Chains A and B, each alone.
Chain A
Amino acid sequence: MIHCEQRNGEILNVGFELVGKAVELSKNLDGQVTAVICGHKINHLAEPLIHYGASKVVIVEHPLLEKYNVDAYTESLYQVVKAENPEILLLGATLVGRELGPRLAARLKTGLTADCTNLEIDQESKLLLMTGLAFGGNLMATIICPDKRPQMATIRPGVFSLLQSNKHSKGEVMLFTPRLDEDDIRVKVEKIFQKVRKHKDITTEKILVAGGRDIGWKEGFKLLEELAELLGGRIAGSRAVVDEGWLPKDLQVGQPGKVVRPKLYIAIGISGAIQHLAGMQESECIKAINKDLEAPVMKIANVAIVGDWKLIFSWQRVRMKIQT
């Protein structure tokens, strides 16, 4: 079972990604993929989920579910899970999912694995193997939930790729009306305001030019920005440069940060801590420039250039060469 988040009547991509992954997992299990979606007047959202592979969609319909509210959503999903008894329940690790997941897991008296980067089914035990970063990202850990049900996990957006949708897929749609009362809602959302975003969402960019601590100062990113513009991409950065205040948080790649999989990822002056690699290693092509050959990022790069980025990327030179 997948909880698919909708905002203003649109399903977040991570929901489709998880449905696709669940279809793959279900081949090793005797089960079907059910997508659950909460909201008000959202019947039209069932169809796209079926096209992406869900064999059943549960539309959880209630006026109190129009906007996300942790109390209303937890209670509704709790009732759905109690009615459907899924073996596995997956949620997107958005900030909403990371609030909703623990509250729901605690109510269901089951375990929850946060921020998984891989999901598999153990051939023998048929248990869900939930793998993610552990211990501050210094290790990978595979977690199981052997006895309690459902086995719950949250997964970052962008970790699994979006499968092709098939317009001819058929599936069952079930309308579920949760028992909800105004009094159940103890946290009141008084005001919502949109974040002002100066930058486009880096997870949808095809080309990213990312800088690390070695860029050395804020102004250095102007050079990277020039390159990014030249290539038709955007800039991004590692945790170090965001902590230094050289780039805003929404351009951070890694965990914490965004998981990206662009066609081209140029890592400049990034050593490549495992937290950073977790956010970009699925990029189609990785090019790295680093003064240290032993830097982890150099080991996963398709092309690794050893040297001082400032010398290599002295931009006038490159630009001249491109134009000729």
Chain B
Amino acid sequence: MRILVFAKQVPDTTEVKADPVKGTLIRDGVKSIMNPEDKNALEAALQLKDKFGAKVTVITMGPPTAAAIFRESYAMGADEAVLITDPLYAGADTWVTSMILARTAQIIGFDLILTGRQTIDGDTAQVGIEIAEHIGIPVIAYATNITLKDNTVVVTRELDNTYEVISTKLPCLITCTKDLNKPRYMRISNIFGCFDKPITTLNNSILKFDKNEVGLVGSPTKVKKTFTKGPKVQGTIFNGTPEEGVEVILSKLKSEKIINAQIVNKKKKLEGA
């Protein structure tokens, strides 16, 4: 069985700060990590490998530095790493990105594709699902459990008010959530070897897109502007002793008729009972 895991290197967004004047991100000194739910996807692939035997290929698209996540992938137990990198692809939106990843998957060949549900820097949750559509295979999003029997995957997934158990035939694509599993730690023995493992690089001479189809030019969506959100009008600030703080809140809640109404209601209830 051949399993492809699409993963992305992302800035640790909890550490990113925005420049309120320029409306851009300050990325300096922010560490890059493998997108957390992509790691859940890799773990799911490795569990299937442990159980049934599989070749697990981790694939990412980005600048050459994005390959840093492959060291961790190898150390966790991945078998192969593929970096898609080409200056033509810079600025790709989710639609173009998924086109490129879909063609890559078709060239490499696969039985199962696993991706994280969403990245922490984009939060769109679109790329995985769009890859499936471009290739024309079934998709199951938001997996919280995956089992495989013969040629059929059975996935439990969480929807808004329900859980669903869904089955489909391989080949298919599944997007994975953090509730699916707990990614394993890197193995010491693998860490020693991970720097010597090869990284296959793919560029447009292999993927053969027209230059107008990809990158910023080919992307249906464009960023018109970015900005930080301006503050609302400042309200009353109170800086005093705790007792006075309580007074301020109480008097406000009372003057806005929030507390009194509640107390009247409560009294009514009590009287009714």
Chain B residues near A277 (CB, 8 Å)?
229
Pick out which of these stretches binds chain A: B47-55, B62-70, B93-101, B103-111.
B93-101
Instruction: List chain A residues, Cβ under 8 A from B18.
Output: 135, 138-139, 274
User: A133 vs B167: C-alpha distance in the bound complex, in angstroms?
Assistant: 34
Complex Cα spacing A297 to B245, Å = 17
Q: Are B166 and A207 in contact (CB under 8 A)?
A: no
CB contact under 8 A between A139 and B24, given known A98-B125, A307-B239: yes
C-beta contact mask, B233-273 vs A, less than 8 Å → 1, else 0?
01111111011011011101100101100110100000000
In the complex formed, the residue of A with least CB distance to B128 is: A102
* A96-B159, A305-B248 given; A314·B242 CB < 8 A: yes
Contact check, B239 vs A207: say whether CB atoms are below 8 A apart: no
The segment from A22-30, A37-45, A170-178, A191-199 that touches chain B is A191-199
CB nearest neighbor in B for A264: B258
Contact B129 A136 (CB under 8 A): no
B109-151: which have CB < 8 Å to A? Answer: 120-127, 129-130, 132-134, 138-142
Query: With A103-B130, A106-B134 as given contacts, are A145 and B123 in contact (CB-CB < 8 Å)?
Result: no
A111 touches B245 (CB 8 A): no
Number of A-B contacts (CB under 8 A): 237
Known contacts A190-B165, A287-B252, A303-B238; A139/B232 CB under 8 A: no
Give chain A nearest CB distance to B157 CB in angstroms: 9
Give the size of the chain B interface in residues (CB under 8 angstroms).
81
Residues of A within 8 A of B168 (CB): 186-188
Q: Is A17 an interface residue (CB 8 A)?
A: no
Which of B77-85, B184-192, B202-210, B215-223 lies on the face that meets chain A?
A: B215-223
| CB-based contact A105/B95 at 8 Å | yes
Q: State how many angstroms separate the Cβ of B95 from the closest Cβ of chain A.
A: 6
CB under 8 Å from chain A, chain B span 154-187: 154, 158-169, 172
Question: With the chains together, A193 CA to B145 CA distance in Å?
Answer: 15
A135-B262 CB under 8 A given contacts A102-B133, A192-B164: no
Chain B residues within an 8 Å CB radius of A111:
93-95, 219-221
Query: A304 and B123: CB pair below 8 A?
Result: no
| Segment of A56-64, A160-168, A214-222, A316-324 engaged in the interface with chain B | A316-324
CB distance A99 to B161 under 8 Å? no
Residue A114 at the B interface, CB < 8 A? yes
Q: In the complex the two chains form, is B258's CB within 8 Å of A138's CB?
A: no
A71 interface contact, C-beta 8 A: yes
Smallest CB separation, A186 vs chain B (Å): 4
Chain A interface size, under 10 / 10 to 19 / 20 to 34 / 35 or more = 35 or more
Task: Given A189-B166, A322-B250, answer yes or no on A113-B221 (Cβ-Cβ < 8 Å).
Answer: yes
Instruction: Tell me whether chain A's interface is mostly helix, strand or loop, or mixed.
Output: mixed
B226 at the interface (CB under 8 A from A): yes
| Residues of chain A within 8 A of B197, CB atoms compared | none
> For A137, what are the chain B residues with a Cβ–Cβ distance below 8 Å?
13, 123
Cα A267 to Cα B223 with chains together (Å): 33
User: A306 to B238, Cβ gap below 8 A?
Assistant: yes
Which of B124, B240, B248 touches A114 (beta carbons < 8 Å)? B124
Q: Does B195 contact A (CB under 8 A)?
A: no
- Shortest CB distance B126–A (Å): 4
Tell me whether A95 is interfacial, beta carbon within 8 Å. Answer: yes
Contact A299 B232 (CB under 8 A): yes
Out of B160, B228, B237, name the residue touching A96 (CB < 8 Å).
B160
Given A187-B140, A306-B238, A307-B242: A133 and B123 interface contact (C-beta under 8 Å): yes
Beta-carbon nearest neighbor of B132 in chain A: A103
Which of A129, A191, A230, A289 contacts B164 (CB under 8 A)?
Answer: A191
B165 touching A189, Cβ below 8 Å: yes
Determine whether the beta carbon of B123 is less than 8 Å from that of A194. Answer: no
Least Cβ distance of A202 to chain B in Å?
Answer: 14
Q: Is B29 part of the contact surface with A, judged by Cβ < 8 Å?
A: no
Chain B CB within 8 A of A47 CB:
no
Taking CB as reference atom, which chain A residue is nearest B261? A232
Residues of B whose CB lies within 8 Å of any CB of A are 10-11, 13-14, 16-18, 23-25, 93-95, 98, 120-127, 129-130, 132-134, 138-142, 154, 158-169, 172, 219-229, 231-232, 234-240, 242-243, 245-246, 248-250, 252-253, 256, 258-259, 262-263, 265
Given contacts A110-B220, A136-B121, 20 further A-B contacts (CB under 8 A): A94-B160, A95-B142, A106-B134, A109-B220, A133-B123, A136-B14, A136-B123, A138-B13, A143-B222, A147-B220, A187-B140, A187-B166, A190-B167, A192-B165, A232-B265, A298-B237, A305-B238, A307-B239, A307-B240, A312-B249
Contact sample, A vs B, 9 pairs, CB 8 Å cutoff = A111-B221, A115-B124, A136-B13, A142-B227, A143-B222, A188-B168, A189-B164, A231-B262, A287-B252
